Chains A and B, each alone.
Chain A
Amino acid sequence: GIQVEQSPPDLILQEGANSTLRCNFSDSVNNLQWFHQNPWGQLINLFYIPSGTKQNGRLSATTVATERYSLLYISSSQTTDSGVYFCAGLIQGAQKLVFGQGTRLTINP
C-alpha cells in the first residue's frame, strides 16, 4: 500500500540538543519533502529531497531512496524549532502528496 510513516511521534528536548527525525516510505512513494508546522499552524517547506543530502543552516536532510527512508537532522535546537514536522511523498504516477502523521517536537528553554 501507499505509506509514509514517521518516528518518533513525540520528542521533547532541551534547547541546544540535537535531534533526528525519521520517515519511512513505501515503494509507491518518491520525491520526499519535509515540512515544519509552527505553533501558529503555518506549514513551511523545509526540503525537497528525492535523494541525497541537503543542508540549510542548522537543518539537514538525507534521503536514501533505495532503502526507502529519509532523515531530518536538527542541530543545536532552539525553542523556535518547536512544532510538528511532516514528511510527505509523491504517489508514483499521480501528482499527489501523501503525508506522514508527523513528529511533534518540543524544545524547552
Chain B
Amino acid sequence: DAGITQSPRHKVTETGTPVTLRCHQTENHRYMYWYRQDPGHGLRLIHYSYGVKDTDKGEVSDGYSVSRSKTEDFLLTLESATSSQTSVYFCAIGGTSGASTDTQYFGPGTRLTVL
C-alpha cells in the first residue's frame, strides 16, 4: 500500500471554527488530492496540487483552502466550518514526481462532524 496518512482520523467541531486536515505521504508523488464523500454524491474533488505551492480547484472548492509547502504534506483548511461540511474527507496521491497522474491511491479518510 502507498504510504499515505491522514490526521486527525476523527474530529468533531462547532460551526464557525476553522479546521485543518493534514495529509502526509512518503511516496514522493507529485499529485495530491482532497475529496469529500457524502451519501448520494459519491466522491467529489475539492482541491488538488500538482507540485509544491501549485494548487487548483476541484468541483466543490467553496469554503475550503489548501496549502502545499513541501512535497509530502497537503493541508486542507475549512476557513469557517459549516454543518454542510460534515463529511468523510479522503486524501489521494497520484503519479510519480515529474510525470502526469495515472493511478490514484487513497488515504484512510477523516470523518469530520460540524455541530
Check A96/B58 contact, CB under 8 A, given A33-B104, A45-B103.
Answer: yes
Q: Which of A31, A86, A97 is the one whose CB lies under 8 Å from B45?
A: A97
Q: Which of A41, A86, A95 is the one whose CB lies under 8 Å from B48?
A: A95
Check A43/B102 contact, CB under 8 A, given A95-B48, A101-B42.
Answer: no
Q: Is the interface of B mostly helix, strand, loop or mixed?
A: strand
Chain B residues at the A interface, C-beta cutoff of 8 Å: 31, 33, 42-45, 48, 50, 58, 88, 90, 94-95, 100-106, 108-109
- Measured between beta carbons, the chain B residues less than 8 angstroms from A100 are 42
A59 touches B (CB below 8 Å): no
Q: How far apart are the CA atoms of A7 and B101 in the complex, in Å?
A: 26
Check A48/B90 contact, CB under 8 A, given A96-B48, A102-B42.
Answer: no
Chain A residue with the shortest CB-CB distance to B102: A48
Contact, CB under 8 Å: B103 / A33? yes
Contact with B along A39-51 (1 / 0, CB 8 A): 0011111001000
Contact, CB under 8 Å: B101 / A42? no
Within 8 A of B (CB), among A70-109: 86, 88, 90, 95-102
Check A31/B102 contact, CB under 8 A, given A95-B48, A95-B50.
Answer: yes
Contact, CB under 8 Å: A95 / B31? yes
Within 8 A of B (CB), among A24-82: 31, 33, 35, 41-45, 48
Contact, CB under 8 Å: A86 / B88? no
- Measured between beta carbons, the chain A residues less than 8 angstroms from B94 are 95
